[in-house]
Structure 1
Amino acid sequence: MSAPNRQAAVLPAVDVARSGAASVLSSRNILVAFVAVLAIAPVLLPEFYITLLNYIGLAAMVALGLVLLTGVGGLTSFGQAAFVGVGAYTTAVLTTSQALPAWLAWAGSPWPALAVGLLITATVALILGSLTLRLSGHYLPLGTIAWGISLYFMFGTMETLGGHSGLSGIPPINLFGWVMDEGREIFYLIWAFLLVAALTTENLLDSREGRAIRALKGGMVMAEAMGVDTSRSRMVIFVIAAMHAAAAGWLYAHLQRFVNPSPFGVHVGIEYLFMAVVGGAGQVWGAIAGAGVITILKQWLQDWLPKVFGASGNFETIIFGLMMVVILQRARDGLWPLLARLVPARGTTRVIDASAEPLPRKAMPAAGEVILEAKNVTRRFGGLVANNDMNLHVEAGEILALIGPNGAGKSTMFNQLSGVDTPTSGEVLFRGKSIAGHGSREIAHLGMSRSFQHVRLLPKMSVLENVAIGAHLRGTKSVLPSAWRLDRVEEARILREAAFQIERVGLGEFMHAEAGSLALGQQRILEIARALASDPCLLLLDEPAAGLRLKEKQALGELMKKLRGEGMAILLVEHDMDFVMGLVDRVVVMEFGQKIAEGLPDEVQKNPRVLEAYLGGVE
């Protein structure tokens, strides 16, 4: 049966989740009500509250970038305030200078200065990101502190930027003759910028590119094995977060009509990070909640604590710090999930368009063709030899088991074959092409996919979205089309493919459940579905039967036989000998990093060296 017809046979069973439309409608109604409140706020509220809302909007824009960078991508940055400064100082210099060079004279008004500021910020972010994002662990946030401090002192040191006295006389923003020279006028522009940024960020996360960004938290090895360019994804969110901050800086400069270095220090960057975390680090709309709570709380403390404790001292900072600790303890996921519970959800499922065109498939290799071949592969770690002169091959349409006692070197061999590690010597060929030294992402594009010994899923994402990550390499739409909803045709095709693979492995009833809610055995099956979504001709399965009950093992065995019948090659590492011997075509046995036996299952079970090393010894 051809691939499209196979899908047609499965997809009618997929639940077309119309309840998702109700959820969208409910969210849209809330958004419309929120915009309506914002529209009438300047008419009803006094000047003080308008100013407060303006600062909340500006802070929320910076926090929104941190939601994407830290909450979703897992990259902690303390330097976002410096990017606010880049945007603010760029427009301040351009719009107040009386002697711009002729080639830059066009940028002497606010709107062109915004474009220049975003361009400069993107350039600076690319340079800093190329240095900082190579760091990991605690070195990454320390790196952001380092360049955050450097930019802060640069703002106060350079005479062209006004030194510590700053720059004044910044003109107001003019939009089609509307001069925004007061807080009430610029209010609408600030919140329009914020809402557009929030909606485009939400669109981005609900896309192929967004799943790649969210996959960063599942680990680089998993994401790369699914075809995600993790270095690019990290850089993308770093630059987007910087540009959100720069736009906030541009608005701030024209709101204040004056800039100096004080709002752009690392201490303010820490405050922005607080806003993102308190609001809900992984929640787009949590940025607004966090910015609102912290801005209002600080203002309230500054107004009331001096009346209680007297005018001297920084009691508001002390109390604010203690309150932040309590909030982080009591609401570890932030405030937005708590607020979201107040609105009953009508549906959380995704619509699967069964009429979407299937994704193209690669032609499967001819039965018996050698798909993967390892020749004299050796891997040394100092004086330890983990793999020693290993040879094996896998043919299309067969299941090969790689077995051996613990410490035999199976996982190391797996890593050499899948591109996670590079052999010290020897050669690995995949469909005749040498892949030793090539990354797992590149190998995934050639048609190899894998599961993991320790399950690597995104537990808060649905089963459908986890499997859709596997189809990442089969799409092409990038950041801008995703942010502006120009990727919907491709997205429908990817979700259709994911739904097909979920039904194929027997998890259809869990399609819209959170992956973390599944039992361990079901999660292992889910990993196979994700691997299949990449359209491989070779599957590397690392202990897929671990944790499965008898019937689940039987279903897994039937699935693997079905895949073999379609021409797929499967390399299997497994400890369950009953499962292996009744399923596979050939067996390779390892001990102490070397191959000690190879052959048919019956032959291997009778091999004296195998019996001695692995199956309990010769009687």
Structure 2
Amino acid sequence: MRYLWFLLVLLPLFLLPFPFYLTLLNFFALSALVALSLYVLTGLAGMTSFAQAAFMGMGAYATALLTVKAGLSPWLGLLAGLLLSLLLALVLGGLTVRLKGHFLPLSTIAWQVALYILAGNLVGLTGGHTGITDLPPLTLFGYALDTGFRYALFSLFLLVLFLLALDNLRGSRLGRALLALRGDALAAASFGVDPARLRLQAFLLAGGMAGVAGFLYAHFLRFVNPTPFSLEASIKYLVMAVAGGVGTIPGVVLGAAFFTGLEDWLKDLLPLLLGRQGNYEVIGYGLILALILLLAPKGLWPLLAARLPRKEGRLPEAEPLPLAPPQGAKGEEVLRVEGLKKAFGGLLAVNGVSFALRRGEILALIGPNGAGKSTTFNLVTGTLIPDGGKVFLFGREVTGLAPFRIHRLGLGRTFQHPHLFPELSVLENAALGTYARTRAGFFRVLLGLHRKEEDQALATAYRALKRVGLESLAWERAERLTVGQQRLLEIARLLASGAAVLLLDEPGAGLRAGEKRELAHLLRSLAKEGYTVLLVDHDMDLIMGLADRVVVMNYGEKIAEGTPAEVQRNPLVRAAYLGEEVA
């Protein structure tokens, strides 16, 4: 079905008698390409950029300078424009992708305005606002692309190639990871994603796409000046993507088509209605966008797609990734915590906590609310950096390492509240766990060379779902699961990740009695296979019937450690839980 995009290439044949509409079709192709770069940034990675027109300008000016002033081939101009766009994306992304909230879009606005002003004032290089004229036409296989029809065939063909490449990206480990980053960067890091690195790669891809669009724009008009690469242009491309549905590829294309046609219509209609000339289409944009977002908050395409029949996914038939059961002797030490300390201002949340975890055992970390259990979890997994103490995993010190690095050494975790991604299916949520076990990068993914590995990842995720009893829900959206099923899905994601040490934060919360029994049976069977489990829970019946050993915390300190029977008799534990006085 995805190859139906090639039908776009047939449009110039139907519009051949109408030169004006062929020109409009070319502008649609170029706008759609820039809007698709925003699908990568905003739709997948959750970043907002107002600098896409600046990347486009880099591609346009690079080819204009090389072809007009240096007399080189336009195809060398494409290469130069792509390299300059990537360089700008690397600099801009390296400085801004770590920013959060409104700081990222504000910083891209600053860069966009600065580059626009620079292009207008470097008269000796760029021609200022007069621009650079007489760019040569593109020549392909001996044919000059010097008519609207020929150029439309070429630009639409390139657009379709990018559409297919981005469809490959969405259905890959990188696409899932980008969506996870958009929803919850902490959860993404917990299964092996490096947030800063992946966001920068997405920024580079989006910048490169906009740079290619700038190259095409320059050789279509054969003239370049700063006006098409202004902040207003960047806003226009963002409006296209958001109005159509920035989270979907068809939505972005629909938005580009709708606003390309709308812009021309408004430019003709509004001066007639208002009786004077001016850029009134900008006002029209704003009003129409507001109306669309009121009626369809997610964009036009999701509103239309909700009325289409739901497509059932295909269950993976490939062999799963090799199952690597935990290696080593039962009872050997796999995790050791020595004197962990963490203070938040004047509050000492964790004070000198030490314990060890042995292969194949289930160790429970318990204590009253506010005892410091979750903080200890976060210190062990790298979410927080300790003020003192050390953490060792399989004999290697991991104190202060980033969560994604600790995960790749064999430690996985769940969270106090399920950290799932509602827009993904149950199978895709489980497949997120395979991120660190798979290797396909952007180049392989965009070219579709990741299919075998992707099928293996999905098969691995399906095997993990079967293990926890959720295989019948593989293609349901995760948001439709009960709380108990969400807890099991988090465990399935851990199993798909291949982690040998499993840290479970309140896995029994929200589960019914029968679900808790099933959970206990699952954890016991995993421990027998050599998995090691550290869990926090407030359900004492579950803990005392499941754990091999128990560590008890109170006011940030460890007050007891031993078997369930031993800690139940400990007077300090009874005082902490029951308020009994210590003799």
Shorter-chain TM-score bucket reads: over 0.9
- The one-letter code sitting in structure 1 at the alignment partner of 2:114 is S
Equivalent pair of 1:61/1:287 in contact (CA under 8 Å):
no
2:498 corresponding residue in structure 1? 535
TM-superposed CA distance for 1:343, in Å, is 4.4
- The one-letter code sitting in structure 2 at the alignment partner of 1:144 is T
Corresponding residue SS for 1:285: helix
Corresponding residue SS for 2:553: strand
2:560 corresponding residue in structure 1? 597
1:126 corresponding residue in structure 2? 90
Corresponding residue SS for 2:339: strand
2:56 corresponding residue in structure 1? 84
2:26 corresponding residue in structure 1? 54
Q: Structure 1 380/342 Cα, relative in aligned 2: closer, same or farther at 3 Å?
A: closer
Corresponding residue SS for 1:185: helix
After superposition, the CA RMSD in angstroms is 1.6
TM-superposed CA distance for 1:551, in Å, is 1.1
TM-superposed CA distance for 1:544, in Å, is 0.7
87-96 vs 221-230, greater mean Cα deviation? 221-230
2:118 corresponding residue in structure 1? 154
Equivalent pair of 1:198/1:285 in contact (CA under 8 Å):
no
Equivalent pair of 1:359/1:474 in contact (CA under 8 Å):
no
2:15 corresponding residue in structure 1? 42
Structure 2 segments unaligned to the other structure (5+ residues): none
1:111-510 alignment runs, 5 A limit? 111-158=75-122, 159-312=124-277, 314-341=279-306, 343-345=308-310, 347-353=311-317, 355-356=318-319, 358-359=321-322, 361=324, 363-510=326-473
TM-superposed CA distance for 1:312, in Å, is 4.4
- The one-letter code sitting in structure 1 at the alignment partner of 2:519 is L
Distance 2:330 2:455 in 1: 33
Q: Structure 1 481/313 Cα, relative in aligned 2: closer, same or farther at 3 Å?
A: closer
TM-superposed CA distance for 1:34, in Å, is 4.2
TM-superposed CA distance for 1:612, in Å, is 1.8
Distance 1:393 1:113 in 2: 61
Distance 1:315 1:281 in 2: 25
TM-superposed CA distance for 1:305, in Å, is 2.1
Corresponding residue SS for 2:360: coil
Corresponding residue SS for 1:50: helix
1:23-38 alignment runs, 5 A limit? 25=1, 27-28=2-3, 30-36=4-10, 38=11
Equivalent pair of 1:365/1:537 in contact (CA under 8 Å):
no
1:576 aligns with 2:558: no
**Structure 2 length normalisation: TM-score?**
0.97
2:513 corresponding residue in structure 1? 550
1:5 corresponding residue in structure 2? none
Q: Residues 23-48 of structure 1: CA distance to partner in whole angstroms, max 9, x if unpaired? A: xx4x54x4354444x2523324x111
- The one-letter code sitting in structure 1 at the alignment partner of 2:490 is E
TM-superposed CA distance for 1:426, in Å, is 1.0
Q: Residues 372-395 of structure 1: CA distance to partner in whole angstroms, max 9, x if unpaired? A: 111111112232211101011111
- The one-letter code sitting in structure 2 at the alignment partner of 1:139 is F
Equivalent pair of 2:168/2:448 in contact (CA under 8 Å):
yes
1:63-102 alignment runs, 5 A limit? 63-97=35-69, 100=70
Q: Structure 1 43/342 Cα, relative in aligned 2: closer, same or farther at 3 Å?
A: farther
Q: Structure 1 460/189 Cα, relative in aligned 2: closer, same or farther at 3 Å?
A: same
**Structure 1 length normalisation: TM-score?**
0.91
Distance 1:218 1:374 in 2: 31
The share of aligned pairs that are identical, in percent, is 46
- The one-letter code sitting in structure 2 at the alignment partner of 1:447 is G
TM-superposed CA distance for 1:442, in Å, is 1.1
Equivalent pair of 1:359/1:494 in contact (CA under 8 Å):
no
- The one-letter code sitting in structure 2 at the alignment partner of 1:518 is L
Distance 2:402 2:321 in 1: 28
Q: Residues 225-261 of structure 1: CA distance to partner in whole angstroms, max 9, x if unpaired? A: 1011211210111011111111111111011111110
Equivalent pair of 1:78/1:273 in contact (CA under 8 Å):
yes
1:7-18 alignment runs, 5 A limit? none
Distance 2:50 2:14 in 1: 32
300-309 vs 223-232, greater mean Cα deviation? 300-309
Structure 1 segments unaligned to the other structure (5+ residues): 1-24
- The one-letter code sitting in structure 1 at the alignment partner of 2:83 is L
TM-superposed CA distance for 1:616, in Å, is 5.1
Distance 2:523 2:194 in 1: 29
- The one-letter code sitting in structure 2 at the alignment partner of 1:180 is L
- The one-letter code sitting in structure 2 at the alignment partner of 1:317 is V
Q: Structure 1 275/344 Cα, relative in aligned 2: closer, same or farther at 3 Å?
A: same
- The one-letter code sitting in structure 2 at the alignment partner of 1:31 is W
- The one-letter code sitting in structure 2 at the alignment partner of 1:42 is L
Equivalent pair of 2:320/2:460 in contact (CA under 8 Å):
no
Distance 2:6 2:67 in 1: 36
Distance 2:95 2:135 in 1: 33
Alignment length, in residue pairs? 581
TM-superposed CA distance for 1:94, in Å, is 0.5
- The one-letter code sitting in structure 2 at the alignment partner of 1:66 is L
